A and B are shown apart, each in its own frame.
Chain A
Amino acid sequence: MSATNQSKAFQSRIGEALGNQQAHTNFRSAMNMLMENRLKQFPDQEELLHKRQRADAIRAHALRNLPTLLEKLEQKLVENGIQVHWAENGEEANALIHQLLSQAGARSVVKGKSMVSEEIDLNHYMEERGIKVLESDLGEFILQLAGETPSHIVMPAIHKSKQDIAELIHKHYPEHPYSEDVDTLTQQARQILRDKFCHADAGISGVNFMVAETGTLCLVENEGNGRMSTTVPPIHIAVTGIEKVVESLSDVPPLLELLTKSATGQPITAYFNMITRPRQRGEMDGPQEVHLVLLDNGRSHIRRDEELLDTLRCIRCGSCINHCPVYVQVGGHAYGTVYPGPIGSVLEPMRQGLDKIGALTSACSLCGACGQVCPVQIPLPKLINRLRAEAVTQQVETQGVKGQGSLRKLLEVWTWKGWRLIFGSGLRYRLFKLLATRLRRLTPPKMGGWSRYRTIAKPASRSLDEMAAKAGFDHE
């Protein structure tokens, strides 16, 4: 997609989102609740800061030692009997997973919530090859019925009302009577999905943390579908990004605490599932085979840059999204990417290239709310600013961010050059002010999108430097 086309497509998605008042109301009430709940978990700001510093350092330490830790992780996992696979990109990861499923003769697969599986579009890949992958997280299950993608990384169906959901379930499973009662809907989903868990040939999941020291895969969840998917079927395939590794088991508790508190304001989720081995001799359940697919998909490229690699500290809590004043207006789908909101506006342009999706960086007022709440202190506003600079830079480097310079437009370049000429010289700036104040009546009554929502502020009749002199302030 050309730079102009991606901007146009983005603007059209934004227009559509802003026109949907019901969705805005849904997002607003959900985000209000998530922010309030998070705040209740962190009554002491000083303690919170210390915890964030600690989590930041743990993740930074892991990223610094990433190649060593990945090798150590692999060695431990193999010792434990978990098979490790590496994939450069989504295509390779899907092919690997497909091969594993085919070898096992799997036709029906249950999957726990995994953003990486969204990233590689796993479901479609398998479906095209005759393997049905059923989403088992309730939110993801609802979206799969609707044929939609998640609008939030933690609460994927946040844009759906209970009426929408009631209709979807009744339409696809008419044996269940139509109901808008949340408990009834939940129990209907329980019945539908229990049968699937019981008969699935394989389970797929993501991973929240991988522990190099012990070769352990950790999964955070509330519903129990993750435990079902990783315990009931004979094969479990976990797929995750290479950045999710931490060095030691004692690194996990501080990250877990900040993850659940930041994400949904829970002190901890209902389940924290730590998987270290496949079923051992004498054990009665658990998968006989456990596989881990380690996905790069641009991550090693991001890690090359001193500043951008901060992005890889992300533990996917979604707190930046919950606090983003732009996200609450447009919702997740407007971004048109797997990861929306502030983290998406940083990660997606790096992953896909600024030429593909760099326009996301424009949807940010740089208010800084995201950076304040990030549990691992990713400087999101700074990174968005950096990507804006990369998008319009003239110096394109082979090692740089993909699509560098692709949003550089001549009109904008000359506007800023003109601005620099005026504001970069005391003399020219004062001349400009003289003209602007004396000719204030000529201020245009309309200025693009600005005046669609606001009146125009006219220059004053005298600028401050003239008035300051009159009021007796020293010029020096």
Chain B
Amino acid sequence: MAMSSDRPSEVYFLATCLTDLLYPRVGLAGMELIRRAGVRVIYPKRQSCCGQPAYNSGYRDEALKVARHQLSCFPRNIPVVVPSGSCAGMVSHHWPELFAGKPDEAEAVNMAGRTFELTQFLVDHLDLQLEDLGEPTEIVVHTSCSSRNELGIEERIESLLAQLSNVTVREQARKAECCGFGGTFSIKQPDISGAMVQDKCDALEQTGATRVVSQDCGCLMNIGGALEKQGRTLQPQHIAEFLLERTNVSN
């Protein structure tokens, strides 16, 4: 668990391209949660993408070039916080492979070692304490596969939610199963991906929860898009927004 010496005075925020372009409010919420805890948050303006889409499609040269640009945006030796398990996993786990043998390998490995997913950072480094100011509600959590299988931090989101006294977390069937997003997988194998997200939506809805909360915008775009297409009432929301909404005095 977090020690006070782990608590940095400033951090970089790596927004991810999905958040930047489609879900900026998620990024703002994540940054606000950190700032509210008394930590300076720096948003490097030139940042773009971690390179994951190309990397997972086999286009490693292209992935490397984009990753290299991203690397140049986070030069100082301070933590990098990412509101996505998938992108955090790309940097912390796959950059060392992607940059292996390249002249900038050391910098990439360095950044890999100081990159954290948002809930991981809030729990392990800030030991964030939350007070629930919201109405009683029932939610269900979808943990991204990268947070679970790659980073092994699946319980962080649950421990944050456990601090919220008015929030009941329902458990869905096959909790650990992938929602079917998988980045370019959903484009290359749309029908398999479609069948997977259908099963996921069914399982989530069967809990009777009103909201599905996750730490990854990719999963939420997939699940949320499918829920909307089917006209279901279950609402998707990123954990950062959910936490901020329920704990912000000004709300």
Contact = CB atoms under 8 A, between A and B. Distances in A.
B20 A392 contact: no
Interface string A1-38: 00000000000001100100000100000001000000
Contact of A454 (B45, B183, B199, B225): B225
Interface in A434-476: 436-437, 448-460, 462-469, 471, 473-476
B185 A362 contact: yes
B188 interface: yes
Contacts of B48: 422-426, 429
A364 interface: yes
Contact of A419 (B54, B195, B225): B54
Interface string B167-199: 000000010111011110111111111111111
B99 interface: no
Interface in B224-249: 224-226, 228-229
Interface string B1-39: 000000000000101010111111101100110010000
Interface residues of B, number: 76
B21 A436 contact: yes
Interface string B125-158: 0000000000000000000011011100000000
A365 B181 contact: yes
A364 B62 contact: no
A81 interface: no
Interface stretch (A93-101, A165-173, A222-230, A324-332): A324-332
Interface string B49-61: 1010111111110
A464 B226 contact: no
A419 B56 contact: no
A420 B54 contact: yes
A453 B56 CA distance: 22
B222 interface: yes
Contact of A455 (B22, B174, B181, B229): B229
Interface stretch (A295-303, A313-321, A336-344, A366-374): A366-374
A457 B225 contact: yes
A454 B222 contact: yes
Contacts of B228: 454-455
A47 B20 CA distance: 42
Interface stretch (A63-71, A140-148, A382-390): A382-390
B109 interface: no
Given A371-B149, A453-B193, A366 B182 contact: yes
A460 B190 contact: no
Given A365-B182, A419-B54, A450 B190 contact: yes
A363 interface: yes
B226 A426 contact: no
B164 interface: no
B42 interface: yes
B185 A468 contact: no
Contact of A329 (B65, B185, B195): B195
Interface in A405-425: 412-413, 416-417, 419-420, 422-425
B196 A424 contact: no
A113 interface: no
Contact of B185 (A364, A368, A469, A476): A364
A476 B73 CA distance: 10
A362 B188 CA distance: 7
Nearest to B10: A474
A452 B190 contact: yes
B176 A365 contact: no
Contacts of B229: 451, 453-455
Interface in B63-77: 65-66, 68-69, 73
B69 A425 contact: yes
Interface residues of A, number: 71
A326 B28 contact: no
Contacts of A389: 58-60
A365 B193 contact: yes
A369 B195 contact: no
B180 A325 contact: yes
A391 interface: yes
A325 B177 contact: yes
A464 B27 CA distance: 7
Given A464-B15, A475-B42, A475-B43, A369 B190 contact: no
Contact of B187 (A430, A449, A473, A475): A449
A452 B187 CA distance: 11
B22 A368 contact: no
A369 B62 contact: no
A433 interface: yes
A390 B229 CA distance: 36
B178 A433 contact: no
B56 A388 contact: yes
B54 A416 contact: yes
Interface string A158-169: 000000000000
B192 A329 contact: yes
A459 B49 contact: no
10 contacts: A14-B192, A368-B146, A385-B58, A392-B57, A424-B66, A425-B48, A449-B191, A450-B186, A463-B24, A464-B15
Given A365-B180, A412-B57, 7 more contacts: A416-B59, A419-B62, A426-B45, A449-B187, A450-B187, A454-B222, A474-B41
Ordered nearest first, which 9 A-B pairs have the shortest CB separation?
A449-B190, A365-B182, A426-B46, A454-B225, A368-B149, A388-B58, A453-B194, A367-B178, A367-B145
